[in-house]
Chains A and B, each alone.
Chain A
């Protein structure tokens, strides 16, 4: 029987400044050096991190009331529409929204230089943002239009609420066709010209707790440079295992998180407006999760390395758009990070879309917060479904 810890015990050690914290990268070497049992006995918390484009992101804003009042039924922020089908001066600005007059892909491939993600970055940076709103007017909200500028400090609340972040694992995207394609996985050159991937591998939060043994509703996290929380599973949360031809587990995939935090305490370098040529606008989100080492089993997964974690290679010219099942093989994150992989016998150069150096920095910042004693672990009030729940995606039938 190995070590057993509770959240309460770990938090007491954090408060006393005695918690032993390693990043998900550091712990790999530690386990290799001295084994699981000894490391589990020593280490309280392992910190993870990821910094990649996450489209299912956005922010709820409450602008405060003008005189006379307006019940905003259309809202634009720097020309980008926000959703207003909620209360009078509440709106939700989504990361992938673009201005109505953006040429989008009419001028293929479109540039998508400014979208909702960029509005969020500008707000977090404290820049003035132009607010325009229209209304049909009511007895209690007579004003029919308003145009002004706001900064994040002028408005009541700004809450980042991302319904699907921190994808556990992701496809490595390639293009088997004869022409360049423009995707949410970046620009893919023809005939296997490049292979793009987008997770931080051995630093990636959900790959380090694939059973969802510690991550649940109430888990306190690093979000956009501030403190956030896991509030639910993300949309399309179908956690499972990746297996090789012989049925051996060689990684996990499919889990996602819904996360929330106060945008006012976040930082623009950890929330970046992002553009994918020919695809659209989005937001690159910095996110890090502390994994409490409650027992040896949790450490075993938290110490998985790039050599042991894999991603499926998927063709984005035919296979993905037409939802054809299957892939072109599995490659390890160590191979992906080496700069080249072999697909269909051809050597293909790889490129990440998610920043590994920034992921490492997030894991280090989170480690420092915990070591300083000002970041306590949030014990989940409910854990999220793991692979044992057997969740799978439904498809949309055309009736």
Chain B
């Protein structure tokens, strides 16, 4: 089974704790830190690949520490400066999130409909579609 991709959010009172140490040492979990960031208010975000037999216990430990745990959801965004409104993406979007508004022929992106299939990232000729984690 593939590792779980999760997002942890820390408050200023939890961001100084060695939680990765405990996940590995106490729960025997395999950890890959994809991304980690602490803002000036000492609030933190961490994206993890987490795997191991005691995964559920590890998650419970995190929650008991007051750390919020969510599955990773990627988000596709349009870089408006790069997008030329050509429309090449629109026939490849399976969700109808990218579409041409007529008669202006402007390309529109409805992020609510996006299913994050990432097709648009490949077909956009000017690389205007980006994924945000």
Contacts and interface: CB of A to CB of B under 8 A. Distances in A.
A68 B60 CA distance: 69
B91 A350 contact: yes
Nearest to A275: B125
Interface string B48-84: 0000000000000000000000000000000000101
B104 A357 contact: yes
B63 to A, nearest CB: 40
Nearest to B99: A339
Interface residues of A, number: 31
A354 B123 contact: no
B29 interface: no
A351 B87 CA distance: 6
A356 interface: yes
Contacts of A113: 127
A357 B88 contact: no
B122 to A, nearest CB: 5
A351 B127 contact: no
B123 to A, nearest CB: 5
Contacts of A196: 88, 91
A353 B125 contact: yes
B84 A277 contact: no
B86 interface: yes
A355 interface: yes
A327 B106 CA distance: 29
A352 B106 CA distance: 11
Contact of A51 (B84, B90, B104): B84
B9 interface: no
Given A272-B126, A275-B127, A284-B125, A337 B84 contact: no
A371 interface: no
Nearest to A360: B105
Contact of B126 (A277, A284, A349): A284
Contact of B105 (A189, A273, A357): A357
Interface in B96-133: 100, 102-106, 122-123, 125-127
Contacts of B92: 187, 189, 194, 351
Interface of A: 51-53, 111, 113, 186-187, 189, 193-194, 196, 272-277, 284, 337-339, 349-358
12 contacts: A52-B86, A187-B92, A194-B92, A273-B126, A274-B125, A350-B91, A353-B86, A353-B88, A355-B87, A357-B104, A358-B84, A358-B86
